[in-house]
Amino acid sequence: MFRPLSRRTVRWRPIEGEGLEHLVIAPHDGGIRADSVVIGERGGIPYGVRYRIDCDARWHVRRFWIETMAGQRLALLSDGKGHWRDEEGNALPEFDGCVDIDLAGTPFTNTIPIRRLGLTPQSETAKLTMLYVPFDRFEPFRDGQHYTCLEADRLYRYAAEDRSFSADLPVDEDGLVIDYPGLFERLRA
């Protein structure tokens, strides 16, 4: 079982190309808040974004926003049970059932389902439908992902539902990804 979360600062860099993420995560308002700045590139095009994710105490995403340095913004709210709406309160039924989010360009969003699900090595693989947000367009879509616990509170397998990609993710005592093979590595403090 993961330890109770206290304020932490974590940094990751991409394995290939240029970039850096600086994340601050802390308890907030009875839940968890993650604030981050990410610079990187995709397809040779550089980007700079900042994001905030608020989760309840059980790691259900309640709201998030993401914004480019040029001012492009996406902000969505959730009831924590897989029902989403935009900032104006308009329902987004196309994302019904998506409890978790996955933001491109950061290993942090893998922590959310890992902490929320409480998987054990004896658990079945959790099959999730994520609200996925690519950093190039900020147009979210549904994405099937699977999580399996390989070693309790230490190692989890992420797999794309279409089986096109998988990675074994080592995590620390807070459930934060240490290294994401082939994509990201954490910088040591």
pLDDT in tens, 113-158: 999 999 999 999 999 999 999 988 899 999 999 999 999 999 999 9
If you average pLDDT over residues 40-45, what whole number do you get? Answer: 86
Q: What is the pLDDT of residue 1?
A: 86
Asked if 100 and 7 count as a contact pair (C-beta separation under 8 A), the reply is no
pLDDT exceeds 70 at position 189: no
Neighbouring CB atoms inside 10 A of 49's CB total 24
First-to-last C-alpha distance (Å) of the chain: 24
- Give the global pTM: 0.96
Q: What is residue 95's three-state secondary structure?
A: helix
Hunting for tokens 């995590």 — which residue is that? 171
pLDDT at 150: 98
Q: What is the pLDDT of residues 7-36, one digit of tens each?
A: 999 999 999 999 999 999 999 999 999 999
Tell me whether residue 45 is exposed, middle or buried, using C-beta atoms within 10 angstroms of its C-beta: 0 to 12, 13 to 18, 19 or more: exposed
Are 67 and 43 in contact by the 8 Å Cβ rule? The answer is: no
Taking only Cα atoms into account, the Rg of the chain, rounded to an integer number of angstroms, comes to 16
pLDDT reading at 188 higher than 90:
no
pLDDT digits (tens, 9 = 90+) for 46-74: 999 999 999 999 999 999 999 999 999 99
Sign of CA dihedral 56, 59, 64, 67: positive
State the pLDDT confidence band at 42, using cuts at 50, 70 and 90: confident
- pLDDT reading at 41 higher than 80: yes
Mean pLDDT of the chain: 96
Residue that the structure tokens 């005592």 belong to: 173
pLDDT for residue 45: 85
- What is the per-residue pLDDT across 98-123, written as a single tens digit (0 to 9) for each? 999 999 999 999 999 999 999 999 99
Q: ∠ CA(114), CA(81), CA(170), 5° rounding?
A: 5
Residues 30 and 36 sit within 8 Å (Cβ to Cβ): no
DSSP 139: -
Q: What is the pLDDT of residue 39?
A: 96
Cβ neighbourhood burial of 127 (10 Å; 0-12, 13-18, 19+) = exposed
